[in-house]
Structure 1
């Protein structure tokens, strides 16, 4: 189906450069791929994970026409990928020297099995929700938080749309405080469009839960949902994901019209099927059994049709579909596509090495997101040429700031790594992307307000008291390259009305540098507020800073509660 239906709230989530992909096997054809089986008799677990040392880099393009390496260690001179017996022989004929990774081969060459006592989650990986469990989480969020959450059916998976089976709806979870009118800037975040990438869908779901669970207690999350919209496509390839849950390294959708109806190599690579520069530049395959098969036409796949239609409906088209015209600096909105693995934050273009028109601004936000997860930030061609991809579509067609985050170090990431490393590293990146959506080509150049400290969080109404607080303004928090930084030039705060509200005139109150001078790119600033005039209830204090180049940064906030009766004075509270 091609529709957007708002459902009832009770109806229903080194340069070691890892690639994105590998299980469906190409038959010999126009891409010069090895002669490989396309029938259902092929065992999807009859694979080895190998380090393939290449004779020279020129042969890599030939390999990439039919598969996508897991990773590329350029310094050591090898790519990591999974191979069948036929592929192994073909690579050796090309001059590759192969070394088997026994540990990875043991993990990926057998079906998933439930752990002892495991009741939920993907077999063997209890931290990752199945497709059905993800949808149950969405239903629970919408049912329990109707003012903050709604569900939008944007279309159908291939099996449901054309395959004659139940398949799945393509479901977007929309988070915002519906009691506050828009328009509001939007973050759209999709995940696991490559089915075998377990971590992205779960991280995106955890992001939704974090926002819902912290609304009303965390001042930053509260203003984010009050004044922004978060649109989350948690399972972007549900048919393929269901196959991958069994332990098959399934990447594509399950379209039976390609390769063979029963082959484990069937389907189209959804992240090569988007319309902008589809099949333009050798960054995808013409072979129907190939890992990177781009489909017969742009948007041939119902999942891609659903995504392109929906994304085009929520973001304004602010630039022509050329390679030279920048989007206006005031453009709102951020588009994210979450993948694994390789520990990268990447952005357009992927189909050519030339820089995009908004290169400076796109790079600045990318480097800012990479600061939090400590990933490499780079243009997407760091992975090689790709065409028909999500982020090239979002930026190239609409002008929205678009990024892919490649998280972690494996497709089936161990739960201990996911819980202890991937989630804490990437949650701040997602939060920053969401906060920057009001002006992604401007705000990331400004200083962050961090390490807020404040006194008297709870005061009796009418009390003659002064609330004192401080923050650190930091103009230096970027990763991967040299980003322009300036001295802090100004700091201010607002009470209850953030600076972007235009219906009224918010009153800025100046803050002062703790050392007496604005002469550094990192400054501690102090502020104070007479609380005697504050009305009964909760109040928000918004803090922001400006650097010497005139760039304002994203606001940070804290709450002050004015209560009926005298409450305990909290001496000092700090948070990052």
Structure 2
């Protein structure tokens, strides 16, 4: 390796000698100034990474190459060297964090330089408009205050809101999916992903049968901005992570508490957080010290049942309901508990199964959180450890300030299906992911007169898991069934499901085409919905998928339906006439 020695005149002792290696500058001591700098830190023992996690969170960890990437100040630079890291400044990444992006010439909305990402205010306007426009599906709930709002004298601060989505006209207990984003302020993509998911659900309700039943029989709780004070700092280009609590590391850009080290469960007990106020993983003075953390915990506790005993070894029941997702960036990872100990959670096998299912959709690496580095006081450990929810973290994308092209073409289209699956499986997150998926539902013809039969077909597939990090057990398909207008779990004792048969005559493969004839005699006029699910040879039932069909009075001529039209490459609206389609050019 070629080393080019450089003498820096006027530097302090210990800072004079530096060298270039592989394009990165290596310093015998910290560089001049206070930082921050982006560094590559090389290690010889994985335990060094775990020790590092008590002071900071690496941006990237590359175990195969023995280095990590982190943002450090002068004190952390010296400390990392003292515990054995070889530290190299990365000039390109350092310039990136020191030179915030400017607004694009034609940009009107969004974060400067990133028009695809809504600001705090814009995301709030979006959610409020959803609640106003879809009043039977959406409610916009004030769940608490940010630190700035509870401490007058500084910035104005914000309310924390949850956008709750469900069909309020269908009563009864419903399983829940909670998705949170923006807990770490500098992570741009997760908030927009969560916002787009909200828009997708309400805009497709009534047209997409799966979205329709998801909101009919589930509650989806979306906390778009979990740390709005910090997010406002990050919108200026600062790599702000924590909230803005000015009691700690006062009046600096390092102030605040890491909200994802501040949750009550196992707070500060395992070396996965810091007691130093200026560190980016500072856990706060006490568990749940921050108003944002308190608001989140109180909301989740009030909307999800406690299904797990307190002992670390106690599993949640196999039929527990409810899923908790915390969206972060970055790293292309699907993570599950525990984060604080190198030991499987009591529901570890089921966590792995659902994690591999999520990773099938987004292509990320599924793993237990501790494999990355230890953390304590985190949101997903709280959700699982205290309540028994299936708690996960998605680390989306490849950088904090992800470019819009990557977001629109990679992050969004691969993660939306994963979020939809989270909603589909929220009724039994520890059971249904082990079962097969019901795909390619088709009902022919789609409209019939009463008494005329319909042909229902589908594909039942037990193979759809990520193979990154290991293979999930898969089985042959053993059965498939459907129900009409009511999902299988809500049928009365007088109602029943109906079998679908293997199209080739026998259930003996891991992917099976299935068929059934639907008898429409006795069905009311109007639109109906068929729910389909499959079972594998191990007895696991997968989640349902759905399809619409209609029973029409043959004596009444069909009316013209004014339905949304989707044409690739255009944004469009359809006027209230079948003949006129107005296009907005892209």
TM-score normalised by length of structure 1: 0.88
In the alignment, what sits opposite 1:530?
Answer: 519
Q: Pick from 382, 406, 412: which aligns with 1:417? A: 406
* TM-fit CA distance, 1:86: 5.2
Q: Pick from 96, 103, 120: which aligns with 1:107? A: 96
Does the alignment pair 1:465 with 2:452? yes
Tell me the distance in 1 between the aligned counterparts of 2:125 and 2:342.
42
Three-state SS of the structure 2 residue aligned to 1:82 is: strand
* TM-fit CA distance, 1:96: 3.7
In the alignment, what sits opposite 1:343?
Answer: 332
In the alignment, what sits opposite 1:266?
Answer: 255
* TM-fit CA distance, 1:85: 5.0
Does the alignment pair 1:70 with 2:59? yes
Q: Pick from 280, 295, 302: which aligns with 1:313? A: 302
8 Å Cα contact 2:53/2:374 also seen in 1: no
* TM-fit CA distance, 1:113: 1.4
In the alignment, what sits opposite 1:19?
Answer: none
* TM-fit CA distance, 1:55: 4.5
* TM-fit CA distance, 1:242: 0.4
Q: Pick from 213, 216, 219: which aligns with 2:206? A: 216
* TM-fit CA distance, 1:422: 0.4
8 Å Cα contact 2:53/2:271 also seen in 1: no
Matched ranges for 1:190-205 at <5 A: 190-205=180-195
- Going from structure 1 to structure 2, the CA distance change for 1:281 and 1:524 (only over 3 Å counts) comes to same
Does the alignment pair 1:440 with 2:435? no
8 Å Cα contact 2:432/2:543 also seen in 1: yes
* TM-fit CA distance, 1:59: 3.5
Three-state SS of the structure 1 residue aligned to 2:189 is: helix
- Going from structure 1 to structure 2, the CA distance change for 1:396 and 1:62 (only over 3 Å counts) comes to closer
Q: Pick from 246, 254, 257: which aligns with 2:236? A: 246
* TM-fit CA distance, 1:227: 0.5
- Going from structure 1 to structure 2, the CA distance change for 1:212 and 1:322 (only over 3 Å counts) comes to same
Q: Pick from 156, 175, 178: which aligns with 2:168? A: 178
Matched ranges for 1:8-407 at <5 A: 46-85=35-74, 87-92=76-81, 94-164=83-153, 165-260=155-250, 262-407=251-396
- After superposition, the C-alpha distances for 1:432-460 in whole angstroms (9 at most, x for unaligned) are 1111111111111111101223321133x
Tell me the distance in 2 between the aligned counterparts of 1:382 and 1:494.
42
* TM-fit CA distance, 1:257: 0.4
Matched ranges for 1:506-517 at <5 A: 506-517=495-506
Tell me the distance in 1 between the aligned counterparts of 2:246 and 2:514.
61
8 Å Cα contact 1:284/1:293 also seen in 2: yes
* TM-fit CA distance, 1:66: 1.9
Tell me the distance in 2 between the aligned counterparts of 1:542 and 1:309.
35
8 Å Cα contact 2:131/2:138 also seen in 1: yes
* TM-fit CA distance, 1:82: 2.2
Count of paired positions: 525
- After superposition, the C-alpha distances for 1:520-570 in whole angstroms (9 at most, x for unaligned) are 1111111221335432211001111111121111011010023444559xx
TM-score normalised by length of structure 2: 0.86
Tell me the distance in 2 between the aligned counterparts of 1:505 and 1:397.
38
Identify which of structures 1 and 2 has the higher relative contact order when contacts are C-alpha pairs closer than 8 Å and 6+ apart.
1
In the alignment, what sits opposite 1:572?
Answer: none
* TM-fit CA distance, 1:321: 1.7
Q: Pick from 461, 469, 473: which aligns with 1:474? A: 461
- Going from structure 1 to structure 2, the CA distance change for 1:93 and 1:440 (only over 3 Å counts) comes to closer
* TM-fit CA distance, 1:99: 4.2
- Going from structure 1 to structure 2, the CA distance change for 1:297 and 1:84 (only over 3 Å counts) comes to closer
8 Å Cα contact 1:514/1:526 also seen in 2: yes
What are structure 2's unaligned runs of at least 5 residues? 1-28, 560-586
- After superposition, the C-alpha distances for 1:21-74 in whole angstroms (9 at most, x for unaligned) are xxxxxxxxxxxxxx99xxxxx98xx53323222354443344333211111111
* TM-fit CA distance, 1:364: 1.4
Tell me the distance in 1 between the aligned counterparts of 2:304 and 2:180.
15
- After superposition, the C-alpha distances for 1:293-319 in whole angstroms (9 at most, x for unaligned) are 000000000000111111111111122
Tell me the distance in 2 between the aligned counterparts of 1:151 and 1:504.
37
Across the aligned residues of Structure 1 and Structure 2, the Cα RMSD in angstroms comes to 2.0
8 Å Cα contact 1:163/1:255 also seen in 2: no
